[in-house]
Amino acid sequence: MRRLAELSGLVAPVLLLALVGVVGTFTSRSVQFQFRFALVMAAIVIALYVFVGSSGVVSFGHVSFVAVGGFAAGLTTVPEALKLSLSPDLFPVIASAEVGNAASLAIAAAVGGVFALIVGVPLMRLSGLSAGIATFAVLVITNNVLRNWEAIGPGARTLSLVPETTSFLQATVGVIAVAALAFLYQRSRWGRVLRASSDDPAAAQGAGVDIYRQRLLAFALSGALAGFAGGLLVHLLGSITTQQVYLDLAFLTLAMLVIGGFRSLWGAVVGALLVSGINSLLLTAERGLDLGIGEVTVPTGTRLVTLGAVMALILLFRPTGVTGGRELTLR
Amino acid sequence: MRGTTRWSLLLALVLAFGLAAAACGGDDDEGDGGEAAETGGGGEATDEPIVIGAAVDLTGQMAPFDGPAVTAAQIQVDKLNEEGGVAGRELQLRVIDHQLDPERTKSAAIELIDDGADVLLVTCDVDFATPAVQEAITRGVLAVAPCIGTDQMGPERFGDQGKLAFSIGNVAQDEGAAMAEYAIDQGWMRAATATDNVIVYFQDVVKAFAARYTELGGEVVVEESWTQGDGTIQNVVSALDNANVDVIATSTAFDDMPAMVGGLRSLGNDTPIICGWSCDGNYWLPEGTDNFYLVTYASVFGDDPSDEVKELITAMEEQDQAPGTGGFVTGAAAIDAIAAAVEETGGTEGEALADAFEGFEGLETISGEISFSEEFHSVFGREYRVMEVQNSQPSFVELRAASSPAEIE
């Protein structure tokens, strides 16, 4: 019974994600696209949660892994001729790589995971604010390298003509897979150890826990999931630029996690979907939203002001997020 | 109790999503109708309006370019409708402001096409426009950017379906060539170039300048580059100040442009600077800017040589939408070109319209004669307005067409 109650912590997020996937299919095509986008955002936020939620260390740099995953998935599915026209100096191995949708997502996850592992080796020795700032530095460095090194990608140009394979099915199955892996990790011995060590580092170290190694594992796993989510994103939009996977996305995904509650998977899912919903509704309202009882139009810019205000209010009145950082379980 | 609260949160979320879906999904039927119009509309004689969708940015950093172009397009649509429409059909322009958000850019394109758009206007930068362009061309809808200034709208960037992508902007190879030919005619034989790598158009204009300039016997002695917003513009200014050249050629915009020009002038350096359309307008000019030259589509300072252009500016001013740069005229020219293609093909089928566009050679539009080819899906051969800025006041100098687009890699 207890095991069932624990498992129920996965049921609620999966149910909600599946529901969004199903409800979305009944809308118009442009709204369907926004629903699919919300699901992909949820995948990114869950990936971020795997590290932040377990370690208690804020990461501003996870969008780097989304970026490398996105570019990896894009570059391995775009025809060689187009890649070379965008970037004639591309490494031959990247120029000639052409794989299917599923393989490109696997590559995205692998690239994200390996990249996170490499940068994690020095970074995971840091704690608190310095770790957060160091991850921000990773974001800036990654963006500049992607933007200027035309041997590994299109540089400042948009990588276009990426096959748009992130259908509702792929988005929903993809995000549920990410949620399931996040759940399995948090229930695992490693997940519990890291969470315990973030609550009381001294006690954890006293009990023989190697915090550095545990953090590195969480960072690499969450980097792999973020890379995978980047793959879903590029296959949704059909194109990617370095600007799309930079500060705006980093702020937005972190805001989603904080608003939802960064200590639980349920919080990550709720935060991502809630903010995506508010975002879409306000964007529509900026142009005029028909509520059936009359059209509501809000001034342009309301969306960003509202998101900022919601985040500030949540931090003030419910610092643990709308879910209180708790899982939704039967207990 | 706490459990109840949390489950009620789930319920509330479910309800909220249901409501959101209901509110946003209200146009389902229109969407279906749109698809029917899209598949059945092309090439057939019909009384239905010709719908031109515009997925553009009216609030972000492209707003100074997209906004006036869309206003001018609307004025041209109204004008053509007053004259009886196009092929006996009324023109309609439907605009969605996507604020440069890539997700919104794509969903705006989907919404407009589902709503029956026969042609899609997109934002004036190919990188920002890509999600909308891809949506249009994969669904067989002609995508036209009023003022993208690279040759990227076409098959090179978008594969075979790129046949359906065009820009009424100048191909950068042509604009850079016109700048170089003007510079050589002034006797400026030693140049420095300053390349802003932030967008391809900026890079290509400077490349084209350098290519034509050296062909004509000029010498590029200093080549500086930076990326907009990277905080290195003052280093570029220092290097240019030490260059000791006859002219500095650049193509940039946004914040770094006044920083560069103002920085050079504050150092007492009055070397002539020549730029493309991106430097048009006086809203950014630092006080006391002298010896600044640029080529653009139209003069917005009351001295454009074309009466039709002046009338369009007056009409925009009457709507409190006075244009800031000459790029506005491309919005109206886009409508002219679309109208000409519809007249020629008798319908709105994307592939046929694209064939008509590729065949335009010296097509008369409000922005002068424009030409496209299979190679260039952006305009070449346009007569530019060369503008001179003295004491921060731009004025029209001459009309100048490049002898040919420059060859760049």
Written as one string, the DSSP assignment of B120-184 is EEE-SSHHHHHHHHHHHHHTT-EEEESS--STTSSHHHH-GGGGGEEEEEEPHHHHHHHHHHHHH
Q: Which positions 173-202 of A are in contact with B (Cβ < 8 Å)?
A: none
pLDDT for B110: 95
Task: Name the strand (E) or helix (H) holding B397.
Answer: strand B393-400
Q: What is the pLDDT of residues B245-276, one digit of tens each?
A: 999 999 998 889 999 999 999 999 999 999 99
The verdict on B205 touching A (C-beta cutoff 8 Å) is no
pLDDT tens string B50-96? 999 999 999 888 888 899 999 999 999 999 999 999 999 999 999 99
Q: How far apart are CA A306 and CA B301, in angstroms?
A: 40
Q: B173-303+385-400 sits in which CATH class?
A: alpha beta
Q: How far is the alpha carbon of B227 from chain A, nearest alpha carbon, in Å?
A: 9
The segment with the largest mean pLDDT, out of A146-150, A235-239, B13-17, B282-286, is: A235-239
Contact B280, B328 (CB under 8 A): no
Residue B20 with chain A: CB contacts under 8 Å: 277, 280-281
Question: From the candidates A8, A28, A330, which should be mutated to test the interface with B, based on the most B CB atoms within 10 A?
Answer: A28
* Residues in chain B closer than 8 A to A31 (CB atoms): 21, 24-25, 107
Instruction: Assess contact for B6 and A322: CB atoms under 8 A.
Output: no
Q: Between chains, do B102 and A244 touch, taking CB under 8 Å as contact?
A: yes
**Cα–Cα distance for residue pair B208/A290, rounded to 1 Å:** 49
B14, B97, B159 ranked by CB distance to A161: nearest: B159
What pLDDT score does A35 carry? 93
What ipTM is given for this predicted complex?
A: 0.85
Amino acid present at A181: L
Q: Within an 8 Å CB–CB cutoff, is residue B321 touching chain A? A: no
Looking at the predicted structure, is the pLDDT value of residue B220 above 80?
yes
A265, amino acid identity: L
The stretch B376-399 carries a mean pLDDT of 94
Q: Are B180 and B147 in contact (CB under 8 A)?
A: no
**Arithmetic mean of pLDDT, A105-128:** 93
For B107, the closest chain A residue by CA position comes to: A30
What letter represents residue B80's amino acid? L
Does the pTM surpass 0.90? The reply is no
pLDDT of residue B20: 53
* Sequence-separated (6 or more) residues with CB below 8 Å from residue A177: none
Distance CA(A69)–CA(A39), nearest Å, equals: 17
Q: Give me the total of CB pairs closer than 8 Å, taking one residue from chain A and one from chain B.
A: 144
Residue of B nearest to A21 (CA): B17
Q: What is the CA radius of gyration of chain B?
A: 23
pLDDT for position A83: 85
Q: How far apart are CA B216 and CA B176, in angstroms?
A: 13
> Which chain B residue's Cα is nearest to A11?
B10
Give the one of B26, B30, B134 whose C-beta lies nearest to A238's C-beta: B134
Verify whether the Cβ–Cβ distance B131 to A238 is below 8 Å: yes
Could you give the CA distance from residue A87 to residue A151 in angstroms, rounded to a whole number?
7
Interacting residues of A47 by C-beta distance below 8 A, sequence separation 6+: A62, A65, A66, A178, A182, A222, A223, A225, A226, A228, A229
Nearest CA in chain B to A162: B134
Is B125 at the interface with chain A, CB within 8 A? no
Residue B287 scores a pLDDT above 90: no
Token digits of residue A300? 């342009």
For residue B127, give the nearest of A15, A158, A273 by CB distance: A158
Between B7, B24, B59, which is nearest A31 by CB?
B24
Residue B162 has pLDDT above 90, yes or no: yes
Is residue B226 within 8 Å of residue B196, measured between CB atoms? yes
DSSP string, B49-83: PEEEEEEE-SSSTTHHHHHHHHHHHHHHHHHHHHT
Q: How close A239 comes to chain B (CA, Å)?
A: 6
Quote the pLDDT of residue B36.
Answer: 37
Q: What is the DSSP string of A275-314?
A: HHHHHHHHHHHHH-EE-SSSEE---TTHHHHHHHHHHHHH
Which A residues, 209 through 238, put their C-beta within 8 Å of a C-beta on chain B?
237-238
Inter-chain touch B134–A239, beta carbons under 8 Å: yes
Asked if B321 and B71 touch (Cβ cutoff 8 Å), the reply is yes
User: What is the number of other CB atoms lying within 10 angstroms of the CB of residue B407?
Assistant: 12
Q: For residue B153, what is the nearest residue in chain A, using CA coordinates?
A: A160
Sign of CA dihedral B91, B95, B100, B104: negative
Nearest CB to A160; choose among B6, B59, B157:
B157
B11 in reach of chain A (CB within 8 A)? no
- Is residue B47 scored above 70 in pLDDT? yes
Cβ neighbours for B117, distance < 8 A, ≥ 6 positions apart: B34, B51, B52, B53, B94, B141
| pLDDT score for B42 | 44
Count, residues in chain B: 409
Residues of B in contact with A330 (CB under 8 A): 3
- Rounded Cα gap, residues B282 and B125, in angstroms: 21
Q: Report the C-alpha gap between A258 and A267 in whole angstroms.
A: 8
A78: nearest CA partner in chain B: B159
Q: Which of residues 241-260 of A touch B (CB under 8 A)?
A: 241, 243-244
List phi, psi (to 5°) of B145: -95, 130
The confidence score (pLDDT) of residue B15 equals 54
A28:B21 CB<8 A = no
Q: How far apart are CA B133 and CA B317, in angstroms?
A: 30
Alpha helix (H) residue ranges in chain A: 2-24, 29-55, 62-75, 80-86, 92-96, 101-123, 128-148, 168-187, 189-199, 201-206, 211-237, 247-260, 265-287, 302-317
**What's the pLDDT score for residue B34?**
37
Q: Is B60 on the interface with A (CB under 8 A)?
A: no
Task: Tell me which CATH code domain B47-170+306-382 carries.
Answer: 3.40.50.2300
Q: Rounded to a whole number, what is the distance in Å from the CA of A85 to chain B's nearest CA?
A: 7
Query: Is B102 in CB contact (< 8 Å) with chain A?
Result: yes
Domains of chain A: 2-317 (1.10.3470)
Are residues B96 and B53 in contact, defined by beta-carbon separation less than 8 angstroms? yes
Q: Please report which confidence band the pLDDT of residue B43 belongs to, taking 50, 70 and 90 as the band edges.
A: very low
Long-range contact set of residues B371-375: C-beta below 8 Å, sequence gap at least 24: B372/B166, B375/B151
A195-248 pLDDT, tens per residue? 888 888 888 888 888 888 999 999 999 999 999 999 999 999 999 999 889 998
Chain B's closest residue to A163, CA to CA, is B134
Which B residues in the span 209-268 are in contact with A, Cβ-Cβ below 8 Å?
Answer: 227
Contact status, residue B98 vs residue B108, Cβ threshold 8 Å:
yes
Kindly identify which residue of chain A lies nearest to residue B59, measuring between CA atoms: A300
User: Does A34 touch chain B if contact means CB atoms closer than 8 Å?
Assistant: yes
Q: What mean pLDDT do residues A120-129 have? A: 88
For residue B118, name the pLDDT band (cuts at 50, 70, 90). Answer: very high
Q: Return the residue of A nearest to B226 by Cα.
A: A148
Structure tokens that stand for A153 in this block: 């990608």
For chain B, give every residue range classified as CATH 3.40.50.2300.
47-170+306-382, 173-303+385-400
Residues from chain A that touch B104, judged by Cβ atoms under 8 A, are 283
| Of the candidates A292, A43, A52, the residue with the CA atom closest to the CA atom of residue A174 | A43
